[in-house]
Amino acid sequence: MKVQRWLSSILLSGAILALATTAQAHVNVYPKETKTGAYEKYTVRVPVEKDVNTTKVRLEFPDNVKVSTVMPIAGWDYAFEKDSEGRNKAITWTATAGGLKPHEFMEFAFVGANPKETGELTWKAYQTYADGETVEWTGDKDSKTPASVTTVNAGAGEDDHGAAQTAAPAQAAAQTGGSSNTLPTVLAGLALLVAIIGFFRKKA
- By percentage, how much of the chain surpasses pLDDT 70? 64
pLDDT greater at residue 4 or residue 65: 65
Furthest CA-CA distance within the chain: 76
Q: Examine the pLDDT at 136 and tell me if it is beyond 60.
A: yes
Q: Is the pLDDT of residue 174 over 80?
A: no
Chain segment 39-95, per-residue pLDDT in tens:
999 999 999 999 999 999 999 999 999 999 999 999 999 999 999 999 999 999 999
For the cut 80, the answer to whether the pLDDT of residue 129 exceeds it is yes
What are the C-alpha distances in Å from 97 to residues 23, 38, 56, 58?
Answer: 29, 35, 11, 17
**pLDDT above 90 (res 20):** no
* Average pLDDT in the chain: 79
- Decide: 20 and 183 in contact? Cβ < 8 Å: yes
Do the Cβ atoms of 148 and 125 come closer than 8 Å?
yes
CA-only gyration radius of the chain, Å: 21
Higher pLDDT, 23 or 101: 101
Q: Identify the pLDDT of residue 198.
A: 58
Q: How confident is the model at residue 8, as a pLDDT?
A: 45
Quote the pLDDT of residue 180.
41
Q: Say if residue 165's pLDDT is above 70.
A: no
pLDDT for the residue 163: 44
- pLDDT at 21 > cutoff 80: no
Count CA atoms closer than 13 A to 108's CA, side-chain side: 26
Reported confidence tier of residue 155, pLDDT bands at 50, 70, 90: confident
